[in-house]
Amino acid sequence: MATFGAFLAVLIAIEIFINITLYLRSDVIHVKLVIETALMAICRKVIVFDFKELTPSMIGSTAAVIMAFGITYWLILRKTKKDVRV
């Protein structure tokens, strides 16, 4: 499990590098890509949870963060699709 967690951490680092590169090229923060990276990071955290030391408040707060990022991502996609149709 530690190997898989390390692999996911490398993927997240690559995504952050892409975010920084895009920002430096266009001088605009790409919110969709930042939200995608945050979702990947929180999902990595869920995958590598140590279930022996997990508390109910940790589970609840992680679920709330995932829901918040998921709803935000959905709203961004919805807005982007409306802009394309107009």
Q: What whole-number distance in Å separates Cα of residue 36 and Cα of residue 12? A: 10
More confident residue, 85 or 44: 44
Structural domain total, the chain: 1
Binned at pLDDT 50, 70 and 90, residue 85 comes out as: low
Which tokens is 85 given? 């149709």
DSSP, residue by residue, 26-83: HSS--HHHHHHHHHHHHHHHHHT--TTS--HHHHHHHHHHHHHHHHHHHHHHHHHHHH
* Domain that residue 16 falls in: 2-85
Percent of the chain with pLDDT over 70: 94
Q: What is the pTM of this model?
A: 0.74
Q: How many CB atoms lie within 10 A of CB 85?
A: 5
